[in-house]
Amino acid sequence: MGKQLFGTDGIRGVAGEYPLDPRTIHAFGVALADTARHLNPDPEIVIGMDTRESGPWIADQVAGGLAERGVRSRLAGVVTTPGIAYLTRADEFVAGVMISASHNPYQDNGLKVFGHSGFKLPDEEEHGIEQEIFRSLESNASEPRQKALTVDPGLDQRYIEYLLSTVAVGFGGIRMVIDCGNGAASHLAGELFRRNGAEVHPIFCEPNGRNINLNCGALYVENLRQIVVEQRADLGVAFDGDADRAIFVSASGKIVDGDAVLLIAARALKAAGHLAGDMVVSTVMSNLGLEKALARDGIRMLRTPVGDKYVLEEMIRQGAVLGGEQSGHVIFREYATTGDGMLTALRVLETAKRSGAGLDELTQDLKVYPQRLYNVRVRERKPLTEMLAVEHEISASEKALGSSGRVLVRFSGTEPLARVMVEGPELAQVEDLGQRIARAIQDEIGVK
């Protein structure tokens, strides 16, 4: 049987409702404690959270479940997801728990678990924890008991010190705007970049428990873009709620997404002789323009299904040091085991400072091909090969685009949707082909 609670990024839901109700969270703490005791007779677990109002009580319930089995916990307070991943592997913690729903609205929350390696737990371990949670709930073995935690103020500072240790050049003379999405980076990012010499103008760095990701952060960069241009800043960077992704704005107001960051980073690494295998790992959603720009520099791009989990798995399999997604998750394996928005920003600023070039110059030859995504609500998931009309439209579109475009049709892993992505040199053609395929799917298996 597959996992029922854990998705591709932990357990997620509405805070206070199953599976993020007090009883289930407490049972999660108990189950995690039992798992930890198999690894270490005297385990300790680090807990962090973003700025959602539900974070503190969820942390106390997790700690209560751990304490019931005699497992100690330390609270890092408000810290980023990659911060917890770093602390878990850098210290003697058996595991780390991050309480966050990333880019979701404040009503949601989630539980992400990292092993001592700094990587998210393998599927089989998550499945084992699930089974323990269900057993605990069915037996009513324990009632939820909170354990009030106090923040260890040294933990987030250890993470900041580590990030600073990865930078070999100061940022003096760089004027930047940072949008922290009223999330986990709100009290960390400004300190990080100022300490390395940058002049920082912060926006959306005043969380109140309910304004995380609210028309700000990596998914809503228009405010950042306007302020960068008005202030004549050198660049802007926006983080999402748990700061594992970053989206940039150039001095001219151009959006520099994860694809463009991969190009900047890949070229810098190759020039330094550090791009293992001359390859980059990205997903099927990365723009064809990135693939062509990398190819001009002799760099291969390997594609995976959507999800930073799949990117990381392929990086490990291939021995790649750089990978990421268009959405701004970028993984630098030399420094981190997960996407890290603040680390990504350090690498981008370091490259800009060393080269004396801004983001406009560093991405000027990246031609972004028009790309359109169409979602069709479906009543069933039928193999594409069994739908002749759909197959015909896909084949005709691929023939029309040739090597100058791409067609990707897949079913969503979480919703009853068929997703149609078409990419090519001309927007009108892309839209026409995408709509043809979407109509064929709608006629065959769409919800009437």
> Cα-atom radius of gyration of the chain, to the nearest Å?
23
Q: Which two tokens stand for residue 87?
A: 């602390």
The mean pLDDT of 275-279, rounded to a whole number, is 98
The kind and range of the H/E element at 276 are none
pLDDT of residue 138: 86
Q: Which two tokens stand for residue 353?
A: 């400072």
In the DSSP assignment, the letter for residue 280 is E
Question: Is residue 1 scored above 60 in pLDDT?
Answer: no
Residue type, 146: Q
CA nearest to 195, candidates 160, 168, 240, 228: 160
Q: Where in the chain is the domain with CATH 3.30.310.50?
A: 371-445
Largest CA distance in the chain: 64
In the DSSP assignment, the letter for residue 49 is E
Neighbouring C-alpha atoms within 13 Å toward the C-beta of 394: 16
Report the percent of the chain where pLDDT is more than 70: 98
- Is 102 part of the annotated catalytic residue set? yes
How many beta carbons lie within 10 A of that of residue 318, not counting itself? Answer: 15
How many beta carbons lie within 10 A of that of residue 11, not counting itself? Answer: 23
Question: Is residue 2 scored above 70 in pLDDT?
Answer: no
6-154: CATH topology: Alpha-D-Glucose-1,6-Bisphosphate; Chain A, domain 3 (3.40.120)
Q: Is 92 in a helix, a strand, or coil?
A: coil
Question: Is residue 280 scored above 60 in pLDDT?
Answer: yes
CATH 3.30.310.50, domain 371-445, yes or no: yes
- Tell me the C-alpha distance between 373 and 287, whole Å: 12
Q: Where in the chain is the domain with CATH 3.40.120.10?
A: 6-154, 166-362
The per-residue pLDDT of the chain, averaged, comes to 95
| Residue 286 near residue 261, CB atoms below 8 Å | no
Grade residue 366 by pLDDT with cuts at 50, 70 and 90.
very high
The mean pLDDT of 278-306, rounded to a whole number, is 96
Sign of torsion, CA 167 89 332 358? negative
CA nearest to 311, candidates 295, 297, 326: 326
pLDDT of residue 142: 62
| Residue 219 near residue 243, CB atoms below 8 Å | no
Q: Give the pLDDT confidence of 16-34 residue by residue, as tens digits.
A: 999 999 999 999 999 999 9
How many beta carbons lie within 10 A of that of residue 252, not counting itself? Answer: 11
Residue 415: which residues within 8 A CB-CB, separation 6 or more? none
Distances (CA, A) of 195 to 56, 157, 192, 353, 406: 29, 12, 5, 16, 44
Buried b / exposed e over 266-276, threshold 16 CB at 10 Å, is: bbbbbeeeebe
How many beta carbons lie within 10 A of that of residue 228, not counting itself? Answer: 28
| Residue 65 near residue 28, CB atoms below 8 Å | yes
Q: Give me the catalytic one of 73, 102, 250, 327.
A: 102
Residue 280: which residues within 8 A CB-CB, separation 6 or more? 262, 266, 294, 299, 300, 301, 302, 320, 322, 323
Q: Give the pLDDT confidence of 294-337 residue by residue, as tens digits.
A: 999 999 999 998 888 899 999 999 999 999 999 999 999 999 99
pLDDT of residue 141: 61
Q: Which two tokens stand for residue 132?
A: 């323990």
Q: Which CATH number is associated with domain 166-362?
A: 3.40.120.10
pTM attached to this predicted model: 0.93
- Tell me the C-alpha distance between 200 and 266, whole Å: 26
Respond yes or no on whether the N-terminal peptide bond of residue 82 is cis (omega within 30° of 0): no
Q: Is 26 in a helix, a strand, or coil?
A: helix
pLDDT of residue 9: 81
Q: Give the pLDDT confidence of 388-444 residue by residue, as tens digits.
A: 999 999 999 999 999 999 999 999 876 899 999 999 999 999 999 999 999 999 999
CA nearest to 307, candidates 418, 384, 414: 414
